[in-house]
Structure 1
Amino acid sequence: MTTVECILPRTILGEGPHWDHTEQALYFVDIKASEVHRYTPATKKETVVKIEGGPVSIVIPVQGQKNKYVITIGRDIAIMTWDGVSSSPSHVERVATVDEVDGKRENRLNDGKADPTGRLWAGTLGAEHGPVDFTPHNGSLFSLSKDRKVTSHVTGVTCSNGLAWSLDNKIMYYIDSLTLKVEAFDFNAEKGQAINRRTAFDFKANGVKGFPDGMTIDTQGNLWVACFDGSQVINVDPRTGKLLKTISIPSPKVTSVVFGGKNLDELYVTSASVDLNKEELAATPSAGCTFRILGTGAKGFPGQSVVL
C-alpha cells in the first residue's frame, strides 16, 4: 500500500532534494527564500541556512570534503562551507558564472545534479514573468568539470529541470519543462558529452496533467517525475515511453523527487506554494510541504556527490 505523508512544513519553492546516504539526511532548497534545508528523518530535526545574494536552486555535497556543498546563487555556481547547524554559512566561494551575455543576465540557474563521475550538470531558465512564464528558449544546460571549466551542451532551453542517468550510464535523461517531455541523450561519461536528443516520454501523448519538473531513476531503470501544476508524481518507463504509475500528492505544485531512507525505498517529494493566492493556500494546507511516500515498490540509489 502506498502512503503519502507531509513531513516538513510549507516552503515557497521547495526544490532540488538530495539524499546523503552516509549521513542519512535529506538536503533540499527553497529557491525563493534563498535557503538550504537539512532534515534527518531519524531525529525529525530540520536545520536551515540562509544564503545571501540571490535564489538558491541546488545543494549537493562535495565528495571527500566535510561540510562543503555545491550550491547555485542566481547565475553563479558556488561552494558553501556549512556545519549543518548554523543559520548562515561560514564561507561561500563563487567558482563559475553562466549566461554572462547581454539578453541573458536575468536568467538564473535552476535544477542540477552530479553525473555518475561526479561532474556537475545544471541548467538555466529565462527571465520569469509569471507562473510558468519565462523568456522562451533563452536558457542552456551546462556542465562544470573538475577543473571548474563550464561547458554548454544544450541551448534554446526555456526552463531547465530534471536530470537522471540510465543504469549503464549510456543515456542521460533531461527535462525542459515547457516541452512537456522527458528527453534522452546518448551519454559519454568519460568525455561528458550528450548527443542525439530524442523524446523518452511525452506528457501530452500520455494525457499527463502538469509540467515535468524534477526526476530520479530507480533500480529498475524507470523514472519518477514530479508534475508541477499536476498534483502528482508519475512513474514512467523511458525505454518504452509508457506511463506505469501515478501517485497523487496533496500539493498542486510538485517540484522534485529523490529516493532515500536506510533501504533507499522511501520517495521524498518537494513542492511549492509560490503564486497561490490566500484562498488557494487555505484550500490546500499541504501546498509547499515536503512529503515522504512509502510503499512505491521501488528503490533508488545513493545521491552522487560532486567531484571538485
Structure 2
Amino acid sequence: MAPIVEVVTERVTLGEGPHWDPYIQSLFYVDILGQSVHKYTPATNAHTQAYIEGGPVSLLVPVEGHSDLFLISIGRKLAVITWDGVSEKPSKIETLIEVENEPENRGNRFNDGKADPAGRLWAGTMGPEPEIGKLEPEMGSLYTLIGKAEVKKHLSKVSIANGLAWNTKLKKMYYIDSPKRTVDQYDYDIVKGTITNRKVIFDLDSHKIPGVPDGMTIDTDGNLWVAVFDGGCLLHVNPNTSELIKKLTFPCKQITAAAFGGPNLDELYVTSARLTVKGVEQKEPAGAVFKVTGTGARGIPNYKVNLDNLK
C-alpha cells in the first residue's frame, strides 16, 4: 500500500521543529515567523498555541522531568518557558544565554535545534535574510549548550543550520547546512559531546532534486527522512550507502521537517511553510502539518533536553 498523506492542522507561516512526546501522545512544533509554539493532540484533534514576544522562535524541546517546561530559541537567545500547553501565552520566560552579540552578527538568529541522546541541546544559527532567498551566507554557527549560560561552538561559517539526527549504534551524527544541498555525517562522541570527520553522505545535486534539504529524522533501521524545502518532498535515504530509497511528495513545495509519532511511532508528522517567495504566494494546504501513514518505517523517540546536567 502506498503511503497516505493527510492534513491534520491549520496553517501557520513557517512551521518547523516537530517533536513528538510519547508520554502525552502529542506533537509540539513552532511557527518561526509567527513567533509561536504549538501543540497538536491527534486523539482529540486539539491544536493550541502560545505567542512568544521578542523575536522568531525556531526550536522547542521539552525539558526532561517536567511536563510544562520547554527550551526554546527567541532570535539569538536560548530560553526556558513554562507553558501548560493550553494558554495563549507562557506563564514564564527565563533567558539562559544570547549568542553572537558582535555588531556584525546582530541580524543573526537561531534556526534549528534538537536534544541529542545524552539530553544535550545542539542548536545552530543563520545570518540575516531580509528577503526569502537573499541570505547573507556563512554567518552562522553550530553550538551545544554546555552550561545554563554557556555554549560550545562546533562549526562556524554555517549558512543555514538545519536538520540533526543521531545513530548511537554507529556513533554518527547527521547534519544539514541547507545551501550546501548535502546531508553530512560526523563521527559522534556521546560522552564528550564532540563531532569529527565530516563526510557527505547524500548530495541533492547528484540526484537532480530541486530545493534545499531542511529538517530530518531517523528511523529504527538507521535511515534518514529528509525534508526538502522548495522541493515538496521527503527523501528516505540510507546514509550508509547514499541510496535514495524513496521520495514522498506533498501538495505544497515548502516542506520543512519531520518527526515520527503515534502510539507505535510509525506515523510521520511533517511541517511546512507558506512563505511568499518572489511575489508568489503558497496556496492551501501550505503551512499545515501533514500526517503520513503506511511508510513501513518506525521512528526513534525524540530526546528531551536535560537541564539538570548543566552548571
TM-score tier after normalising by the smaller chain length: over 0.9
Q: Deviations over 1:22-59 (max 9, x none)?
A: 11000000000100000000000011000000000011
| 1:205-220 superposed matches below 5 A | 205-220=206-221
Give the Å deviation of 1:222: 0.3
Give the Å deviation of 1:96: 1.1
Partner of 2:292: 293
The one-letter amino acid paired with 1:256 is A
State how far apart, in whole Å, the 2-side matches of 1:160 and 1:265 are.
Answer: 27
| 1:201-240 superposed matches below 5 A | 201-240=202-241
TM-score under structure 2 length normalisation: 0.96
Give the Å deviation of 1:176: 0.2
CA 1:80–1:169: 2 relative to 1, 3 Å: farther
SS where residue 178 of structure 1 aligns? helix
CA 1:73–1:44: 2 relative to 1, 3 Å: same
- Residue 96 of structure 2 contacts residue 148 of structure 2 at CA under 8 Å; is this kept in 1? no
Q: Deviations over 1:159-216 (max 9, x none)?
A: 0000000141611100000000000111111111011111011110111221000000
Q: Deviations over 1:60-81 (max 9, x none)?
A: 1000023000000000000000
| 1:60-99 superposed matches below 5 A | 60-99=61-100
Partner of 1:305: 304
The one-letter amino acid paired with 2:165 is A
State how far apart, in whole Å, the 1-side matches of 2:147 and 2:140 are.
Answer: 23
- Residue 172 of structure 2 contacts residue 188 of structure 2 at CA under 8 Å; is this kept in 1? yes
| 1:144-223 superposed matches below 5 A | 144-145=145-146, 147-168=148-169, 170-223=171-224
Q: Which moved more, 1:254-263 or 1:206-215?
A: 206-215
- Residue 125 of structure 1 contacts residue 160 of structure 1 at CA under 8 Å; is this kept in 2? yes
State how far apart, in whole Å, the 2-side matches of 1:146 and 1:94 are.
Answer: 13
State how far apart, in whole Å, the 2-side matches of 1:138 and 1:270 are.
Answer: 25
Partner of 1:2: 3
Q: Deviations over 1:258-281 (max 9, x none)?
A: 000000000000000012588643
Q: Deviations over 1:230-270 (max 9, x none)?
A: 01111001111111100011111000000000000000000
CA 1:119–1:56: 2 relative to 1, 3 Å: same
TM-score under structure 1 length normalisation: 0.97
State how far apart, in whole Å, the 1-side matches of 2:26 and 2:263 are.
Answer: 10
State how far apart, in whole Å, the 1-side matches of 2:25 and 2:86 are.
Answer: 15
Partner of 1:25: 26
Partner of 2:15: 14
State how far apart, in whole Å, the 2-side matches of 1:98 and 1:134 are.
Answer: 19
Give the Å deviation of 1:302: 1.4
List runs of 5+ in structure 2 lacking aligned partners: none
State how far apart, in whole Å, the 1-side matches of 2:223 and 2:133 are.
Answer: 26
CA 1:222–1:92: 2 relative to 1, 3 Å: same
SS where residue 39 of structure 1 aligns? strand
Partner of 1:245: 246
> Over aligned residues, Cα RMSD in angstroms?
1.3
CA 1:55–1:280: 2 relative to 1, 3 Å: closer
The one-letter amino acid paired with 2:259 is V
| Superposed structure 1 runs of 4+ greater than 4 Å apart | 276-279
State how far apart, in whole Å, the 1-side matches of 2:291 and 2:245 are.
Answer: 20
List runs of 5+ in structure 1 lacking aligned partners: none
